[in-house]
Amino acid sequence: ERLFHSRDHSDLQDSSSEQAKPVTDLHSAQQFLSRYGWTEPEFPIEPAKDPVFTEALKKFQRANDLPVTGILDDATTKAMNKPRCGVPDNQVTENKNATLVTPQSNTFIQVNDTALNQSIGSNYTVNHEKSPSRIR
């Protein structure tokens, strides 16, 4: 069990496993963008000077309604550190056909063209309709 001493478990300690490493700098941001399909899995030595990285950052900012600066600012870092699903947002490959994978491999489902366009903002529109408020 996770260790605690108080009756109400208010001192429940975090598990011994690590905390997720937050995105704090350009290198961790590069890893984030690569992991979730915004760039190819390359690690330039100086991502700040890499136009591919900058462009990917802009696309991420655009998709997340952030100021499109191409700079890793506080708002962008905060967005990257939000709880999120582990499935990549995009698959940046030449082959856009579906690839079915097993849990033992290292890639996820491909994103179809329509969703890819949505994710990278070329056909992205903001839907301002209210969320449904009816109680089930």
Partner 1 sequence: KKRFLNMLLPPDRDKNGQVVLDRTETTAFARRSLKWRLIGEGYSSQLSIEEQTYAFKLAFRMWSEVTPLDFEEDTTSPISQIDIKLGFGTGRHLGCAHTFDGEGQEFAHAWLQSDIHFDDDEHFTAADTENGISLLKVAVHEIGHVLGLAHSHRRGSIMQPNYIPQESAFELDWSDRKAIQKLYGSCEGPFDTIFDWVRKERNQYGELVVRYNTYFFHKSWYWLYENRHNRTRYGDPIAVLIGWQGIPASDLDAFVHVWTWNQDASYFFKGTQYWRYDNENDKAYTEDTQGAHYPRLISEGFPGIPSPIDTAVYDRRIQSIYFLKDSLVFAFDINKNQIVDHFPKRLTDVFPALVINDHPIGNIDAAYYSYTYNAIFLLKGKEYWRVVNDRERWQNPSLPYNGLFARRNISEQWFDICNVHASMLKM
Question: Which residues here bind partner 1, judged by CB under 8 A?
Answer: 1-2, 14-15, 17-22, 36, 63-64, 79, 81-89, 98, 100-106, 108-109, 111-112, 115-116, 118-119, 121, 124-129, 131-136
Residues making up the chain, counted from first to last: 136
Closest CB 9 distance from partner 1, rounded Å: 11
Tokens of 82: 């939000």
Closest CB 82 distance from partner 1, rounded Å: 5
Closest CB 60 distance from partner 1, rounded Å: 10
Tokens of 109: 């489902």
Measured from the CB atom, is 5 or 9 closer to partner 1?
A: 9
Which of the 8 DSSP states describes residue 83?
Answer: -
Contact 30, 60 (CB under 8 A): no
Q: Is 37 helix (H, G, I), strand (E, B) or coil?
A: coil
